[in-house]
Amino acid sequence: MPAAASALRDRVAARLDAYKDRLLELSHELHADPETSFAETRAAARLAALLEDAGFAVERGVCDLPTALTATYGSGDLTVGVCAEYDALPEIGHACGHHIICAAGAGAAIALSAAADELGFRVKLLGTPAEEEGGGKVLMLERGAFDDVTVAMMVHPSRTDAVDARGSSNAVVRFEVTFSGRASHAAAAPEGGLNAADAAVVAQVAIGQLRQQLRDGYRVAGIVRHGGERTNIIPERTALEYEVRTPTGEELTELRERVLNCFRGAALATGTTMEVRPIQPDYLDLRHDPALMAAYARNLGAAGREVPEPGPVPQGTGGSTDMGNITHAMPAIHPGIGVLGAQGMPHTRQFTEETAGPAADEAVLDGALAMAWTGLDLAADAEWRAECVAARAASGQRSGGTPAAQNP
């Protein structure tokens, strides 16, 4: 490695080390103070304060989303985007490790800024709320926050490191169905009612039968949010939340219609009416950029991790993420960063507990360094950089423009 390149890598690593304590403090504070989708007020404030301290120009409440933010540093034709999530799950807190995502993203952006002036590029951290439910990244993408981003990256906690560009996630749609009927006394005048709870039962039975004919990898799941008021009142309203998942976004529309037909049939059978309300934008499947992922895997190894060897094509994780939409719009990656030794699956109380220890701290710092070095590799490689800039320009990317902040 040329001496100049080695010196830049050392400078980036030193910058990360200088903020190590602040980054881990951020991770610990978010874990101890979980906030759910679109309510991450304190998390966003903590992230913004850290980035401002590091010399970034921070804009809060972007895209008409109170808990979204952007933080930029530098100028140039290339903008390296880093996504930071920070929403938690109801009841079980940070069972998906978004506190790790947030701290690792902040660390990567801060570390990478140490090379931005010399190599003439921008770093942009995007604080993206409501990944668990709400599609913050999709909304920010649609409203222009990613227009000036050339490439994007983030890491997601898991039990193991995952660096295979062939890996993906499921596309998902989530919606609420409300059945409306007519209330009546269940004992004295049952013939006067139109039972919305019956509609919910008929729909669930129909969906259960539909599952027998679904392809491998298709998933339908749901809950009843409201089922009635009292046993002696025929329910006039029920509300259900459902999600439909498929391996790709292209398959999502057909399966969604088949599931909605189960609800439509239930309304017809019971004489009730039905209303459908989307809960969030559709999440698309992940499509990793191979060059970015290869660089990340190499840098994860350089950070001291044992990088998994390529094996058979990874099967879908079953999970879904709004980062999938970003990977459809630009070169981007969403590798898994292992909380090594963890036994619990994400979205469990056990994983919540396991993402609060030393292994979680290591995931923050190793993921941050690997992402920062990956951005550095791209910025320093003239041919690769030009290819990415040209590709994004062709897709309508706006120019990075003028400097956003001074050297910290």
* Helix residue ranges, H only, 271-357: 290-302, 323-329, 349-354
Q: What whole-number distance in Å separates Cα of residue 138 and Cα of residue 343?
A: 31
Mean pLDDT to the nearest integer, 203-228: 96
Q: Which two tokens stand for residue 104?
A: 């690792």
pLDDT of 313 reads: 73
Pairing of strands 151-153, 332-333: parallel
Does residue 396 contact residue 147 with C-beta atoms inside 8 Å? yes
Question: What percent of the chain shows pLDDT beyond 90?
Answer: 91
Q: What whole-number distance in Å separates Cα of residue 68 and Cα of residue 19?
A: 23
Does residue 401 carry a pLDDT above 50? no
Domains of the chain, earliest start first: 3-169+285-394 (3.40.630.10), 171-278 (3.30.70.360)
Q: What whole-number distance in Å separates Cα of residue 320 and Cα of residue 259?
A: 19
What are the residues whose beta carbons fall under 8 Å from the beta carbon of 170, sequence distance 6 or more?
217, 219, 245, 246, 247, 285, 316, 317, 318, 319, 320
E strand or H helix at 350: helix 349-354
pLDDT range class, residue 317, cuts 50, 70, 90? low
> How many whole angstroms from its chain centre is CA 193?
44
Mean pLDDT to the nearest integer, 108-127: 98
pLDDT of 1 reads: 59
pLDDT of 399 reads: 47
Does residue 111 carry a pLDDT above 50? yes
pLDDT of 308 reads: 86
pLDDT of 309 reads: 84
pLDDT of 394 reads: 86
Q: Which two tokens stand for residue 66?
A: 């109170």
pLDDT of 5 reads: 75
pLDDT of 232 reads: 97
pLDDT range class, residue 408, cuts 50, 70, 90? very low
pLDDT range class, residue 398, cuts 50, 70, 90? low
Among residues 68, 195, 223, the alpha carbon closest in space to that of 136 is found at 68
- Range of weakest confidence among 199-203, 251-255, 316-320: 316-320
Sheet with 332-333: list strands edge to edge: 57-60, 69-74, 122-127, 79-84, 151-153, 332-333
pLDDT of 402 reads: 38
- Range of weakest confidence among 136-145, 155-164, 310-319: 310-319
pLDDT of 376 reads: 98
Q: What whole-number distance in Å separates Cα of residue 392 and Cα of residue 151?
A: 8
Question: What percent of the chain shows pLDDT beyond 70?
Answer: 95
Among residues 39, 93, 111, 57, the alpha carbon closest in space to that of 368 is found at 111
Does residue 103 contact residue 364 with C-beta atoms inside 8 Å? yes
Among residues 36, 3, 323, 398, the alpha carbon closest in space to that of 153 is found at 323
Q: Which two tokens stand for residue 315?
A: 């099967």
pLDDT range class, residue 318, cuts 50, 70, 90? confident
E strand or H helix at 244: strand 237-246
Mean pLDDT to the nearest integer, 173-189: 97
Q: Which carries the bigger pLDDT value, residue 399 or residue 194?
A: 194
pLDDT of 148 reads: 97
Does residue 129 carry a pLDDT above 90? yes
pLDDT of 315 reads: 66
CA atoms within 13 A on the CB side of 9: 16
Radius of gyration for the chain, computed over Cα atoms and rounded to the nearest angstrom? 23
Residue 143 is classified by DSSP as T
pLDDT of 403 reads: 39
Among residues 147, 19, 133, 17, the alpha carbon closest in space to that of 72 is found at 147
pLDDT of 258 reads: 97
Q: Which carries the bigger pLDDT value, residue 398 or residue 310?
A: 310
> How many whole angstroms from its chain centre is CA 314?
19
Does residue 311 carry a pLDDT above 80? no
Does residue 42 contact residue 60 with C-beta atoms inside 8 Å? no
Pairing of strands 69-74, 219-226: unpaired
Per residue in 30-81, pLDDT (tens digit) is 999 999 999 999 999 999 999 999 999 999 999 999 999 999 999 999 999 9
Mean pLDDT to the nearest integer, 159-166: 95
pLDDT range class, residue 407, cuts 50, 70, 90? very low
Q: Which carries the bigger pLDDT value, residue 309 or residue 138?
A: 138
Average pLDDT, the chain: 94
pLDDT range class, residue 293, cuts 50, 70, 90? very high
The length of the chain in residues reads 408
What are the residues whose beta carbons fall under 8 Å from the beta carbon of 271, sequence distance 6 or more?
181, 194
At 206, is the secondary structure helix, strand, or coil? helix
What residues are paired with 220 via a beta bridge?
244
CA atoms within 13 A on the CB side of 4: 5
